[in-house]
């Protein structure tokens, strides 16, 4: 059998949780073969259309279609589901018939790669996982050492590798120093998570100004100054009196949440959607008052702190994964907009977790909290347009300034 998509074994920098991940196959509670359109690169599309395999050929004839909306070879075709189903038509008893009857080299780039993302940056490879995968979320969010970084052998396809290009006029070496500082800051465990996020915001704002003024040579001094301020405690003292704005958190993030919409065919996702609405005070029509919303959110936050004792690294590790996966703060329009997106995603997730905790029964256990994260990531974090709308909405409504964002950080 031909090797349709050759792979390379590479040495890559990975968070430790990546080394522990393995697909659980048919045991997955919300598998990636359902609820998403399976896209095909041109090479895979042609191989499927020309296949003579007796069990696969009928599936390919009926369900492998050309994607006419794009000329991209990476998104050349698609596998359509059976009518009335949201599952891939090649899915059989929870397992992929293509991989079973052919091999992994005949999977599309999308199917072979997910949930992994491999990047080339500064002549080095990096890999992280998308937390929309339930097993990836468990491994990333529940372990204290999940974000110890190690060198590991990974397997990747050349065609599906992301290039981390230089940005904002910075050298890749300078970018890497900034990334290391940001990641180390978020792992400074003697600071509360909200304090780390607040300091990160000040830093991104200063970095923005520095780069906008073409003062790239001043970036190393900026890093040293912030490291000294953190070590001396001055910047932490300045943040001590910041108070949370629960009303703004509830109103702003529930509005952003509603903007995405909630239609889904996944039972797990549908159950989460119903729970969020009901626990935030919505009636059968999905409506709630501002007063009920804020009260429900505030009570949920009070119980969330207790629930997180079962998963004490969950929020911190979520933020770290976002940063490492997305080359933070070097994506988006500028470093401060990257920070704005990070805070928006953090706030949306916290709203969902608080809603999950606002009940009269038992608190959610660690697995339930992780499931809420993976459903959130699946619903909201694969939509570039949604992320852009969120940033645009925060700018347009006046919530994009650092002084306003501070009210979002503390629970």
Looking at the DSSP bridge assignments, the partners of residue 118 are: 127
* pLDDT tens by residue, 257-277: 776 555 555 677 777 778 888
Distance CA 303, CA 191 (A): 21
Q: Would you state the pLDDT for residue 272?
A: 78
Buried b / exposed e over 303-323, threshold 16 CB at 10 Å, is: bbeebbeebebbbbbbbbbbb
List Cα–Cα distances, 390 to 353, 360, 365, 373, 395, in angstroms.
Answer: 19, 32, 30, 19, 9
Q: Would you state the pLDDT for residue 264?
A: 57
Q: Which two tokens stand for residue 108?
A: 């599309």
Distance CA 117, CA 252 (A): 31
Question: Tokens 């196959």 — which residue?
Answer: 25
Looking at the DSSP bridge assignments, the partners of residue 129 are: 116
Average pLDDT for the chain: 91
Query: What are the φ/ψ torsions at residue 301 (nearest 5 degrees)?
Result: -60, -40
Per-residue pLDDT averaged across 28-46, rounded? 89
Q: Would you state the pLDDT for residue 51?
A: 94
Q: How far apart are the first and last CA of the chain?
A: 56
Query: In 142-265, where does DSSP find H-type helix?
Result: 172-186, 193-212, 219-232, 234-239, 246-260
Q: Output 392 or 21, whichever has higher pLDDT.
A: 21
* pLDDT tens by residue, 188-232: 999 999 999 999 999 999 999 999 999 999 999 999 999 998 998
Q: Would you state the pLDDT for residue 260?
A: 58
Domain boundaries, the chain: 8-163, 172-238, 246-409
What is the pTM for the complete model shown? 0.94
């Amino acid at each position: 059998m031909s090797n349709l998509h050759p792979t390379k074994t590479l040495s890559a920098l990975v968070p430790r949780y990546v080394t522990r991940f393995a697909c659980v196959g048919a045991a997955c509670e919300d598998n990636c073969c359902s609820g998403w359109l399976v896209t095909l690169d041109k090479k895979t599309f042609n191989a499927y259309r020309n296949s003579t395999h007796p069990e696969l050929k009928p599936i390919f004839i009926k369900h492998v279609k050309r994607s006419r909306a794009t000329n991209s070879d990476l998104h050349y075709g698609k596998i359509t589901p059976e009518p009335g189903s949201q599952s891939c038509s090649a899915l059989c008893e929870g397992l992929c018939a293509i991989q079973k009857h052919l091999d992994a080299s005949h999977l599309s780039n999308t199917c072979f790669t997910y949930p992994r993302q491999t990047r080339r940056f500064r002549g080095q490879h990096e890999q992280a996982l998308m937390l929309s995968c339930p097993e990836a979320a468990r491994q990333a969010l529940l372990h204290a050492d999940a974000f110890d970084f190690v060198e590991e052998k990974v397997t990747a396809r050349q065609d599906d590798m992301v290039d981390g290009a230089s940005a904002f006029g910075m050298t890749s070496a300078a970018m890497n120093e900034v990334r290391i500082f940001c990641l180390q800051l978020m792992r400074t465990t003697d600071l509360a998570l909200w304090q780390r996020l607040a300091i990160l915001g000040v830093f991104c704002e200063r970095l923005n100004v520095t780069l906008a003024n073409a003062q790239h040579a001043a970036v190393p001094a900026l890093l040293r100054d912030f490291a000294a301020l953190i070590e001396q405690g001055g910047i932490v003292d300045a943040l001590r009196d910041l108070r949370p704005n629960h009303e703004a958190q509830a109103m702003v993030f529930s509005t952003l949440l509603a903007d995405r919409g909630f239609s889904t065919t996944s039972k797990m996702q549908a159950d989460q959607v119903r729970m969020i609405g009901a626990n935030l005070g919505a009636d059968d029509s999905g409506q709630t008052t501002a007063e009920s919303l804020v009260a429900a959110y505030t009570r949920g936050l009070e119980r969330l702190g207790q629930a997180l004792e079962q998963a004490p690294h969950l929020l911190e590790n979520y933020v770290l994964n976002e940063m490492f996966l997305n080359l933070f703060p070097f994506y988006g329009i500028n470093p401060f907009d990257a920070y704005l997106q990070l805070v928006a995603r953090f706030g949306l997730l916290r709203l969902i977790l608080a809603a999950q905790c606002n009940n009269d029964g038992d608190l959610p256990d660690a697995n339930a909290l992780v499931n809420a994260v993976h459903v959130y990531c699946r619903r909201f974090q694969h939509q570039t347009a949604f992320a852009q709308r969120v940033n645009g909405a925060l700018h347009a409504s006046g919530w994009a300034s650092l002084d306003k964002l501070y009210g979002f950080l503390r629970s």
